Amino acid sequence: MLDELLNIDKTVFLFLNGSESLVLDNFALTEINHFAWIPFVLAIIFLIIKTNNFKKSLVVLVLLGFLYVVCDTFVSVFLQSHFARLRPTQDYSFSNQVDTVNSLTGGIHGFFSNQASGLMGICVYLSLQVRSFKLFLTLLSWTLLHSWVTVYLGFYYPSDVLVGFLWGLLIGFLIYYIYYKIVKIFFEFLLHESAQCTKSGYFYVDVNFVIFVFLMNVIGILMISLINF
């Protein structure tokens, strides 16, 4: 049964991994660079700071940072070496079938994906925080796009990504629960939707700005990919 699941995992991986398109290769290389997403990340921080007072913003951002450590750093430093599943590019019995770009191989171990985990955790936490379905779809799109790129480049199997999603979901909900308890004790916790703002008090115009920055960010990455083609 396990061997059959692993074979399915590898089959799906080979379908998603690589292509004959240099444009897609350039897009993946640009997207995987964390610096490429600085405008979108700054827009999210702007949204948080603009909506909340200093103390509440600090709570939101500190918990967001803690979430990233648990979802990303803890997974990459401790769990991946514990499970010790080789990445597709590092498995010498399989790596000859893997399509890489510029000989990038990632680290040694890949189970489970810390990048998928980190972004899914952020998606869940911020979606519960802001209470905007459009922002949820935006954050989910970011998570799925980046996770697909990591498979495209051969860094992870699809199962690595799926388990990462599950870990991110769990931690995202847990960190939001901690936030809810802190705010309920030290701040006024209100859920009241209006024509101008979400239930948690985030103005729709500010949320739409974040979504706009995301779309411009993706277009910018695509433009850079075409210029480098």
Give the chain's domains with CATH numbers. Answer: 2-227 (1.20.144)
Give the orientation angle of helix 54-68 with respect to helix 38-51, to 10 degrees. Answer: 140
Residue that wins the pLDDT comparison between 93 and 142: 142
Residue 180, pLDDT above cutoff 70: yes
The two tokens of residue 107 are 């680290």
Res 228: pLDDT: 74
The two tokens of residue 27 are 């897009």
Residue 195, pLDDT above cutoff 90: no
What confidence category does residue 189 fall into, taking pLDDT thresholds of 50, 70 and 90?
low
The two tokens of residue 146 are 């980046």
189-226: b or e for each residue (b if 16 or more CB lie within 10 Å)?
A: eeeeeeeebbebbbeeebbeebbebbeebbeebeebbe
SS3 117: helix
| Distance of alpha carbon 83 from alpha carbon 146, whole angstroms | 23
Res 190: pLDDT: 64
Res 229: pLDDT: 65
The values of phi and psi at residue 77, to 5°, are -85, -40
What confidence category does residue 90 fall into, taking pLDDT thresholds of 50, 70 and 90?
very high
Mean pLDDT of the chain: 94
List, for residues 114-138, the tens digit of each pLDDT value: 999 999 999 999 999 999 999 999 9
Res 49: pLDDT: 97
Residue 83, pLDDT above cutoff 80: yes
* CB contact at 8 A, 98 and 105: no
| Distance of alpha carbon 128 from alpha carbon 59, whole angstroms | 15
